[in-house]
Amino acid sequence: MRSVSVVKYLLLLYIWWLVVRCFITDYYSIPTSSMMPTLHPGDKVFVNKLIAGARIYTKFNFNIDGVELESWRLKGLRKVKHNDIVVFNFPHHVGKINFVINNVFCKRVVAIPGDSIYVENGFYKNNNYEGILGIEEEQHKFSEIPDSLLSYEILNTYPFDKEHFLSTTKNMSPIYIPRKGDIIRITPYEAAYYKIQLEWETKKKMTWDWEKNTVYADGKQLFWHRFKHDYYFMAGDNVSDSNDSRYWGLVPEEYIVGIVGYVYHKNKG
C-alpha cells in the first residue's frame, strides 16, 4: 500500500510540474552572447507566463520541420510592452512563418503593434516611445565603429534589397509594425518588407512590379490588406552581434512564449 501511495504522490507531483510549466513559468538557457551585457551564455531565464497569458495548444503536431501553430492565449495581466525581455519561438523557416517547438530565441522588445521603429546612427528610435530602448551604451559602441570595419553581413538588413531599401543596421528607415485590424495600402515597398507576413495571412504567393508600382497575390492585384495578427520587433542588447528582427523581420504575437521575470546568472550563482 505504501508503494501505491508513493506512486500516486509522484504522479501528482509530475502533473503539478507540468501545470506549472504550461501555465505559470518555464526556464531556458541562454546559448549565445546576443543579449550581453544583460544576459550571458549559460545564464538561465525564467519566463513568467501569467503576465502576457499562457498559450494553450489546440493541436499537438510538433514536427521538427515546422508546422502551423494552432493555439490560443489565456488572458494575461498585461500586454507585452517596450523593453520587455521575452522568449519566443523563432517564426521564420524556409522563407515562411511556421512553428518549431524547441527553436526559441530570447530578445528585447523595441517595437510593439502600432509603432514605427527606425535606427539613427546606431540608436533605436520609436515614434511611440521617448525613453531609451535597450542598452544605450551598447548602441553607442556600435555607433562609434566605422562602417568600414563592419562586415556586409552585419550592416546589411532585411529585406536585403539595396536597390529599393537604403537601410543599414546603423541607419534603418522607419518600419511600421502592424497591429491586428490595421488596413494598410500595399505597394511593392510594403510587399517586399511584409512578404512573409502577407503570405502567411493570405495563404497566397506575393509578387510585385516596381516599375508599375503594383503587387499581386496569386496573380491578382492587391491594393490593401487588413492584418490579422499583432507583430513585434525584437532586438538583442549586443547590437553588433545579434541575430534579430533587423535581419529576419517581425514576430507574431502568438509566437511569444512569455516575459522574462527572473534571471539566474551562471557566474554569480
What's the pLDDT tens digit per position in 34-45? 999 999 999 999
Q: What CATH superfamily is the domain 26-155+231-264?
A: Umud Fragment, subunit A (2.10.109.10)
Residue 14's pLDDT is 81
Residue 13's pLDDT is 84
Residue 60's pLDDT is 82
Alpha carbon distances (Å) from 50 to 21, 74, 171, 212, 260: 11, 9, 36, 49, 11
Do 103 and 89 touch, CB atoms closer than 8 A? yes
Residues in the chain: 269
Residue 2's pLDDT is 65
Average pLDDT over residues 151-173: 94
> Backbone phi, then psi, for 170, in 5-degree steps?
-85, -40
What is the residue type of 269?
G
Identify which has the larger pLDDT, 15 or 220: 220
What is the residue type of 207?
T
* Residue 4's pLDDT band (cuts 50, 70, 90): low
Q: Is the pLDDT of residue 171 over 90?
A: yes
Q: Which residue has the cell 538583442?
A: 236
Residues whose CB is less than 8 angstroms from the CB of residue 117 and which lie 6 or more positions away in sequence, other chains included: 110, 111, 124, 125, 126, 172, 174, 175, 177, 233
Residue range 74-132, pLDDT digits in tens: 999 999 999 999 999 999 998 999 999 889 999 999 999 999 999 999 999 999 999 99
Handedness of CA 26, 247, 38, 121 (dihedral sign): negative
Output DSSP code: residue 21: I
* Residue 16's pLDDT band (cuts 50, 70, 90): confident
Average pLDDT over residues 207-219: 98
Q: Which of 48-52, 58-62, 259-263 has the lowest mean pLDDT?
A: 58-62
Angle at alpha carbon of residue 21, lines to 20 and 24, rounded to 5°: 55
- Partners of 207 in the beta sheet? 216
Average pLDDT over residues 188-198: 98
Three-state secondary-structure class, residue 14: helix
Output the pTM of the full model.
0.94
* Separation between Cα atoms, residue 163 and residue 248, nearest integer Å: 18
Do 241 and 35 touch, CB atoms closer than 8 A? no
* Residue 1's pLDDT band (cuts 50, 70, 90): low
Q: Break the chain into its structural domains and give their ranges.
A: 26-155+231-264
Cell numbers for 127: 515614434
Residue range 222-231, pLDDT digits in tens: 999 999 999 9
Q: Which residue has the cell 538557457?
A: 29
* Separation between Cα atoms, residue 230 and residue 193, nearest integer Å: 16
Q: Is the pLDDT of residue 73 over 90?
A: yes
